[in-house]
Amino acid sequence: QVHVVESGGGLVQAGGSLRLSCAASGSIFSINVMGWYRQAPGKQREWVATITSGGTTDYADSVKGRFTISRDNAKNTAFLQMNSLKPEDTAVYYCNAATQPDDAAPIIGYWGKGTPVTVSS
């Protein structure tokens, strides 16, 4: 089993910055992909950014140029640096870690419980 914990959320004014952290622990052989997702009130959960074990990144159009995803493979940790925050970025941000307990096992994604981000006008 894998435990995923997000941290770093909070209240920030528009134009400000936050850095979120996602730490994965447990039976982990490797984490192929780590991703950030968010869910605003009354909306579906949406993908924000992903990063592979090799460092390849991808971003949703809504956050390109403002958010940066990174990871520390040795610590099984991912980060989301959020700059130039907008009120529409307000959401609960969730981390997903796609992991294998060993090389032969299927890849399973594990979710954290989320960390709330509120951006005020």
Distance CA 71, CA 111 (A): 16
Q: What is the pLDDT of residue 70?
A: 97
Q: What is the pLDDT of residue 64?
A: 98
Q: What is the pLDDT of residue 48?
A: 98
In this predicted model, what pLDDT tens digit does every residue of 80-90 receive, in sequence order?
999 999 999 99
In this predicted model, what pLDDT tens digit does every residue of 5-48 receive, in sequence order?
999 999 999 999 999 999 999 988 888 899 999 999 999 999 99
Are 95 and 4 in contact, with CB atoms under 8 Å apart?
A: yes
Question: Which H or E run contains 52?
Answer: strand 46-52
Are 79 and 19 in contact, with CB atoms under 8 Å apart?
A: yes
Round the average pLDDT of the chain to a whole number and report it: 95
pLDDT over 90 at 1, yes or no: no
Q: What is the pLDDT of residue 109?
A: 94
In this predicted model, what pLDDT tens digit does every residue of 94-113 receive, in sequence order?
999 999 888 888 889 999 99
Distance CA 35, CA 59 (A): 10
- State both tokens at 54: 């090799």
In this predicted model, what pLDDT tens digit does every residue of 48-72 receive, in sequence order?
999 999 999 999 999 999 999 999 9
Q: What is the pLDDT of residue 29?
A: 80
